[in-house]
Structures are given as C-alpha cells and as structure tokens.
C-alpha cells in the first residue's frame, strides 16, 4: 500500500524518489509477515504479530543501497522497520557508515513478544554509543534519537 500511496501523492515531486526495497542486514529476498490488524500496513521480517500471512520482498543492506545510489553519507536516517532494527544497526556499525542523526523506533517495546527485549534494546543503544553516537531524545513509547558525537554540541 505504501507504493500505491507514493505513486498517487508524490509521483509529481521530482525531488522524491521511492525505492521498492526493504532494509535488512543482507541483500536477499525475505518473507515480511503481516500485522495482526488487517487495517495496518506494517509488515515484519521477524513476525512480530505471529501471523501466517506474508509477502516476499527484496531487502538490502544500507551500505548496498548507498553504493548503488552513489551516497557517501546520510544526514538523517529514520528506522521504523518492525523488529529488524537490531540487525540493521549492527550492519551500519559493521560497514562504518557515515550517518549524522539516527532515529530508531524499537518495536519490541510495543509488542513485548520475546523475553529479553529490554536487554536487546540496551545492547543496541550501547552499540550506537560505542560507535560514537549520543542519545539526545527518548520518547517513552519506543522512539530514540541519536546524534553523531562530532555533530553534537551540548
């Protein structure tokens, strides 16, 4: 549905480019599982809502996408990818990508699907901090904003 929405509302905007691919830690076709609410447009690679309905989609590492588009850095990256955020963040760090601001929604805070979710979130936050980011904003619902230390003036 996102693709149809963009085609309807933004195809006339020359500065907007839509790519029909998902973000993951590998370049591969994966199953994306539907939300339990049929009105939702969210799909999850880790099956957050334990449904049987899925679609197959091409996913890529962020470094692959950046290389294909000729980008050396990203100013702002918003990650709201229904449970895939941990693997994607690890791949960003592995590939040493230059990203100024990273906004992450940790979806497990909504679903609490698996035990140990708080430890996974703490580990991910710690990984970003070790990689040189400062956590500058935290909304209780699950939204975390990180700024690269060389951009941060506190």
In the structure encoding, which two tokens stand for residue 101, read together?
């601001």
111 CB-contact burial (10 Å; exposed 0-12 / middle 13-18 / buried 19+):
middle
How many distinct structural domains can be found in the chain?
1
Q: pLDDT-derived band of residue 125, with 50, 70 and 90 as boundaries?
A: very high
CB neighbour list of residue 100: distance below 8 Å, 6 or more residues apart: 73, 74, 75, 76, 147, 148, 151
CATH number reported for the structural domain that contains residue 14 in this entry: 3.40.50
Residues of the chain with pLDDT > 70, as a percent, come to 94
Report d(CA 107, CA 136) in Å as an integer.
19
Q: Taking 60 as the threshold, does the pLDDT of residue 154 lie above it?
A: no
Which residue range forms the structural domain that includes residue 77? Answer: 2-151
Q: What is the pLDDT of residue 74?
A: 97
Model-level pTM? 0.89
Residues facing 23 on adjacent strands? 60
């Amino acid at each position: 549905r996102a693709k149809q929405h963009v085609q309807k509302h933004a195809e006339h905007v020359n500065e907007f480019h839509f790519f029909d691919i998902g973000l993951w830690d590998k370049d591969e076709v994966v199953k994306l599982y539907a939300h339990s609410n049929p009105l939702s447009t969210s799909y999850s690679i880790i099956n957050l809502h334990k449904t049987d309905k899925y679609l197959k989609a091409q996913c890529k590492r962020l470094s692959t996408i950046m290389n294909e588009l000729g980008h050396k850095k990203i100013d702002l990256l918003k990650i709201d990818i229904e449970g895939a955020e941990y693997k994607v963040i690890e791949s960003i760090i592995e590939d040493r990508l230059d990203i100024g601001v990273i906004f992450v929604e940790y979806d497990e805070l909504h679903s609490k699907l698996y035990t140990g979710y708080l430890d996974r979130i703490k580990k991910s936050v710690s990984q970003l901090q070790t990689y040189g980011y400062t956590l500058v904003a935290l909304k209780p619902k699950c939204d975390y904003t990180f700024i690269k230390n060389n951009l941060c003036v506190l």
